[in-house]
Structure 1
Amino acid sequence: MLFLIFGMSIYTTAMSVSFLYGLKDVIHVFQFFKEALVLSLLGISIYTLKARPKFGLIDYLIFGYLAYTMLYAILPIGEQSFFERLIALKSMAFYIVVYFTGRLFDIRKIYVNKYFNYIALLTIAAGAITFFERLFNLNLQSISGYADYVYYFFNFEPSGNYGLSWTFESEGGYKRFGSFFDNPLEHAAATLLALSVIIALYTRDDNKFKPNTTGLLALGASLLSITFAFSRAPFISYFFVIYIYALITKKTFITKTIHYTILAGVCYVAYIISTWGNKVDGIMEVIINTIDFSNPSSIGHLVAWVDGINAMIQHPFGLGLGASGRVAGTLGETVGGENQFIIIGVQGGIIALTLYLAIYITFIKQGLKWLNLLKGKERKICLAVLLMKIGFLIPMFTSEVESSSYISYMNWFLSGLFIATIMQHTAPETTLAHDH
């Protein structure tokens, strides 16, 4: 957990700085360290099992997805080499291995409050760095060696007005800030993860939200981060998570406030459009161009979606691993992309996409089902996983969320812990122990 929280979040920045100081040979070793750590922990968990675990529907769905995607890596399907297919498999399905690492871990050995507090502290640190980035109008990645590192290892040439990539800027010349994360998109997604964890940490069993000073600072830092990461889908999702949380915990004041805010926002945008027409600039230009899909980013998403959907229609069993996503982008031969679901569908076909969607939907259903049945740390894990799954849903339509190691590993390790928790209880009707 310590490595996932503190090591994975600064992973790319640490590698960039190492490359900057000429330690590229060391980077080759550390690039596989996280996978080796996960596999080692999984092996230890399997070796120390005292009884055969009880598996449920979601376990079998995940087994099926892993086996199916591994088949695409082993068989000569698609135009990519065996090595390239293995790299694509790591991006497409290694998080399933992370899931089983959490799934087979002894829940009693996890001090949930302690590690969730560490995530809150990490959020405060990320917010503080974002504040100074904005204050000096300077991306941390501009001085960490990020551009050279990404070009050397992933073949992505520097682009955009700031010598990093177009990800670091938005329409209208607004600079996006990534703090110590890989890029602003990962920063925004990490903020959604942090928000889910902070809410779960400070929500009591009676649904009362009682944050301490650290919690309030973390919430403030998360709002600062999501604002200056300036990524539209995660920004919307940030408030969507709060809205869903308010609904499931029956916090009517929050839900009514959000309703009135949305109504006021719609009226204001309508007024701006009717009064000024196309003569708008600044933030309003970004908002209006997003709504009518006239900005280059939105058009790019639509074009990528259409290409991906056409590829799935023409090749329902997929084009093979590495045909879409990060590996394909590195080779300059990507089909579709910029959508987690389409990326899976283009590579593994309709069956792989159906399995992934079934897993995702089942997690949300299980989270809603067990939320009011669990207590203490078990309930905190349940609520955190439920809000994470909901929070990542919107960004998945505009990015490959699972390609971020920090987001993916944290998400799926906690997901495994959640399923391990509920499988300890044979039926929902069972009286559940209060484990604080």
Structure 2
Amino acid sequence: MDSTITTTNENCEVHDQKVLNWAKDIIENRSSQRLIQKEIIDAVDRNAIWRGQECLNLLAPEAPTSPIVRQLLASEVGTRAAEGHIGPTQRWFSGTKYIDEIESLCVELLKKVFKSNYADHRLVASMIGNMTVYASLTKPGDNILSISQPFGGHSSNRYDGPAGIRGLNIYDVPMDPVELVVDIDKFAKVARQVKPQLVTLGASMTLFPFPLKEISEIVDEWGGKIFFDGAHQLGLIGGGQFQDPLNEGACIMTGSAGKTFSGPQSGIIVWNDPEQTQSISDTIFPALAATHQVNRVAALAASAAEFLAFGKEYMEQIVANAKALAKALHERDITVLGSHKGFTETHQVILDVKRFGGGLEVAQKLEKANIITNKNLIPGDKPEDWDYPSGLRIGTIEITRLGMKEAEMDIIADYIVSVLEGRETVDSIRKRVIEFRSAYQKMHYCYD
């Protein structure tokens, strides 16, 4: 008898099989490919109405782009290839003179926003920026320190992301679970033992600035460097509302353009040291980026121009709204991390919702009320609690760009607490959210 076990595709599938079966049914039972295409368009439209017009989007990693940016993302230039660096002799293809104009404007605008000597625009995702840093500034077997995930560290800087793929030895940055900042005394002890080539700072759960100058003084003892992963804080940094990593000790900074910066989904990388330029550029092209979506580059450049005009005011209001929302929730007896030190200095508010069933249950319940948040690991959770963490992460980017200010944060806090404490039915709260949201449909802090 053949003892070989046959494994079906269904058994190996990482995606939710029920959702995939829904798609299979449409593909197999629609009478034409045109009707299948219409299903795709309809799904996009359903999302635009629900998420774009009827929900309170409190996701920290999302920001709505301006009308001009959306227009550019659908532009003709998106069909064009432009391998290589800017300039007619450095391109593989001819016919790129206007693309060179678009890309050079983008590069110079990014330098101006972040007050850096160098910038690159070709990263289609911020995680590719992190891969660029590890590939250009480390070699396999090097030691690095990065933040563990219960304290807000991101997988891109751990064993299951680019840092691990590079073959680095990864040690934890010691964090204070109460103050929610780096424990500098413990850091000094660990760092002097490990002598990391690179210390990666920046996290997807960040409420307060990092002690970059103190850390820089420590790692300078053996020539170590600081890499700031500003995925979430990039806009706050550019708008002068957080810290200035490149001037406080970091040798390089990456980030996502699609979060506080409020541009298209893509990555940004900036640095000052000319000696790093060749290795960074060689890693980006040809190793990690070839054709790099010129429509996205145009949209990124337009976002940078808007940011120079409106970014400071926009970022100030994002932080003011986060503080106001955190305070309002705290006053309604919700456990808010960092309450003893003003809750937050960023766009994020972190809740401990264990007594309400944990992060997953709360996020799903809020979603039914058209309030979009995400579950999150918090100090005290273990990495294996990933699917069922104790925390909830809230962000104020989108509601700020829709024109909401401190007064609206009280209203939103009431909606959230009503859901968590079951003061009224979820359906009733959902209807109130839709009515409230109907008055906030216009994008602010951008050109019409």
What TM-score do you get using the length of structure 1 for normalisation? Answer: 0.30
What TM-score do you get using the length of structure 2 for normalisation? Answer: 0.30
Q: 1 or 2 for the larger relative contact order (CA 8 Å, sep ≥6)?
A: 1
Structure showing greater radius of gyration is: 2
Higher strand share: 2
